[in-house]
Structure 1
Amino acid sequence: MRRAIAAFGRNDLRTVGRDSLLISLLLGPFMYAALMWLVPAITAYAARQWNFDLVPYHSAIVSAFCVMGPPILLGAVLALQLLDERDQRTMTVLRVTPVPHAVYPAYRAIVTGVLAAVMVVASLAVSRMLSGEELAMSVPVAVVAGLMAPIVGFLMASVGRNKVEGLAVMRVIGLALFTIPFIPFFFLDEPWQFAFGLLPPYWPLRAFWSAMDGGAYWPYLAVGSGYNALLCLMLLKILSRRLA
């Protein structure tokens, strides 16, 4: 089993290394983070020009690009790899090996989730919008946000039948994840916000907003980690059957 996982890792490195699209997707979160360097200047300009205080919205801006950006882009990488391997019938080949059928997509989910969590923390650090204490509080938020990557990847790979369809699905999912979960932040009070809890991004985003406001964010992390992990397992089973 260890040799099989090591072989999967070597194959991933070769695949990403020769695909410029995958490389650009991996670099995307840090480009998003670099955009955050402009936020203080934009905030000062808005206050001077229109007398509008942008500071209360900083946590929403940062969370959109640095908390949700890495999981969405890495989920897209996961989906494109799975769709490419579906075309190459990789899963069919693995069925004649001693490796259990679900090990390969599970390996993909774990690697992608861990990498997404690391990139969330790295993006927040690069953004320079958080203090050291706030960055430390964002680590558990990043873990829950990291679960979004396999959810997005498995969903895209389940709906799309090839890489072209996968890219189309990625645009729809990306747009939905960058808009709908932020409706509670701007328009709804807390009792009504929980209606959006069915959407996986709600929990890491709500935890991040609470952490930045100095509120209790552990309840959102606890519920979000369990809910998103359950969705990962459900989508893993669905995808395993479709890749067979």
Structure 2
Amino acid sequence: MNRLRAAVALEWQVEWRYRIPAVALGLTAVWTLVLLAVPGPLARGAGPVILTIDTATFGSFFIAALVLFERGEGALAALTVSPLRFGEYLGAKVGVLTGLSVVSAVPVALAAGVNLVAALLGVVLLAVLFLTVSFALVVRRPSLTAFLTVAPLPLAPLIAAPLAHLTGVADHLLLFLVPTTAAAAVIQGRFDPLALGYLLATTAVAIWFARGRFTHEPVGAESRARPRGTRWRPRGWLAALVGIDRRTSVRSALLLVVLAGPLLLAIALRLGYPPLAAYLQERFSVDLVPYQPILLAALLVLHVPLITGMVGALLVLDDIDDRTLLVLRVSPVTARRYLVYRMATVAAAALLMLVVVVPVSGLAPSFDLPALVLAAAQAPLITLATAAVARNKVEGLAWLKVLGLVPTGIAPAMWWLPDAAQWPLQLFPHFWTVDALWRPSPLGLLVGIILTAIVAALLTRRTLRRFDSL
């Protein structure tokens, strides 16, 4: 018990140092304010969805980043000769991160008007399973990007099934074959002993699986993915950077995952939006049609650049950890060219995906290319802002969570706040992206371009100074 208490205390100190509790507090505040601002019936429908896909899964990527950081610092190697047992080590991590999810769930559940006890029980069940699965997946992964290439395979069904159940897009007993659906039903206030037993058994299997992977390879003997050896030949700096990314299989796989995610979301919106609108109208008397512009802005136009910017940030942090950036600084590539390349690739990827997914979703009444170009220009800002301040991947994930609050919340805020109260939002480039989407005007588009350029220039200067200090 003393070992477990000490492990929990140390885990809390580490997470506090990297401001993970502060990030949880910020996300909780945003979701609570959003639920308080929307109509009551809509809040009651959205509350269980938020608790399931955001609050309960909050720590899934953080536990992966923490394990990788401890491996890099040699803490996992020291663990093999310490008296701390595996169950205590995993329990400390899962316990602290689950506690953050539970604390975050309280105001969200109250704002949504759902049963508090049922919501907290469901969040605990979901959080423990998601954290354990993420731990098992990351143990033998060499990097965070490698983890992100495999994580969607088991995690996506664990999220998609309860999401389909909660939104009414699909309502079939087969959904309960995915164990997380039972926990989502608990959040709604519905208890099925058989389904809950299945969920607990699945969690026990996940813990056993995590223990086996950790015990057989505790330190992570897998080497980092490296470009396959090729004979060196003279070429330009741009071709060299493209070649590095192309030959690094982990990055190629991550790119495929990133490209597939928004496209699958757009297809899901195309197929699932009509039954979802009918379900909300029938059960909660909520007409979803007036809120279609919010869904378009928040789920696609602002979300796609956020995702590509996050990937760019993780690649930069990978290059810092691998010492690749130190080599590039003294090569003909230079840090400035490297940064320009990263900014250009994430912006181009964001624009390419937006041009495809917005028409596929069926939410856009017309194709507004200038607004999509301005939206794509926000992706490098996410990469730059993270690279400018994050010292490692744990801090990077925490900062990315914070940065995600702006594109997540700005569209609902612009929709429900009166015009007189929106002036603080105009300081963010994302405001002008949504403005160009909802109220197209040359002046608004010009302001958005100028503001984006100013923010990018300031962040670039800060990031280059940080690169010079490495």
Counterpart contact for 1:151–1:231, Cα < 8 Å:
yes
**1:234 aligned partner:** 458
The runs of 5 or more residues in structure 2 that have no matched partner are: 1-233
Give the structure 2 partner of residue 14 of structure 1.
247
Q: 1:81 deviation in Å?
A: 0.8
Q: Is the 8 A contact 1:208 1:217 kept in 2?
A: no
Q: CA deviation at 1:50?
A: 4.1
- Residue type of the partner of 2:286? F
Ranked by relative contact order (alpha carbons within 8 Å, sequence separation 6 or more), the top structure is: 1
Q: Distance in 1 between matches of 2:235 and 2:451?
A: 29
Partner of 1:193: 422
Rounded Cα–Cα distance in structure 2 between residues aligned with 1:21 and 1:99: 24
Give how far 1:78 is off: 0.7
Deviation track 1:195-234 (CA, whole Å, cap 9, x = no partner) reads 2011221111121122xxxxx4332221111111221121
Residue number in structure 2 paired with 1:107? 341
**What SS is found at the alignment partner of 2:363?**
coil
- Counterparts of 1:1-244 in structure 2, within 5 Å, are 3-15=236-248, 17-19=249-251, 21=254, 23-37=256-270, 38-131=272-365, 134-135=366-367, 137=368, 139-189=369-419, 191-210=420-439, 216-244=440-468
Deviation, 1:109, is 0.5
Q: Which stretch shifts more, 107-116 or 177-186?
A: 177-186
Q: Is the 8 A contact 1:36 1:62 kept in 2?
A: no
Match of 1:18, as an amino acid? V
* CA offsets 1:176-209 (integer angstroms, 9 cap, x no match): 43014531211222x4323201122111112112
CA distance in 1, matches of 2:334, 2:456: 18
- TM-score relative to the length of structure 2: 0.46
The 10-residue stretch of structure 1 (63-72 or 154-163) with the greater mean CA deviation from structure 2:
154-163
Do the aligned residues in 2 keep the contact of 1:154 with 1:239 (CA within 8 Å)?
yes
> Contact 1:203/1:221 (CA < 8 Å) preserved in 2?
yes
Greater shift in the superposed pair: 165-174 or 223-232? 165-174
Give the Å deviation of 1:34.
Answer: 2.5
Instruction: Name the structure with the higher helix share.
Output: 1
Note if contact 1:181-1:196 (Cα within 8 Å) is conserved in structure 2: no
SS in 2 for 1:124: helix
Deviation per CA, 1:83-109, whole angstroms, max 9, x where unpaired?
A: 111122223222322344411101111
Deviations 1:8-39 (A, max 9, x none): 11212233x32455543343222332331222
- What is the distance in 1 between the residues matched to 2:268 and 2:390? 31
Alpha carbons of structure 1 residues 14 and 69: separation in structure 2 relative to 1, 3 Å = farther
Size of the aligned set, in residue pairs, is 233
Checking the alignment, whether the CA contact within 8 Å between 2:303 and 2:407 is kept in structure 1 is no
- Compute the TM-score of the two structures, normalised by the length of structure 1: 0.86
The alignment partner of 1:18 has SS state of helix
User: Residues of 2 paired with 1:29 and 1:217: CA distance?
Assistant: 27
Which structure has the bigger radius of gyration?
A: 2
The change in CA–CA distance for 1:142 and 1:21 in structure 2 (over 3 A counts) is same
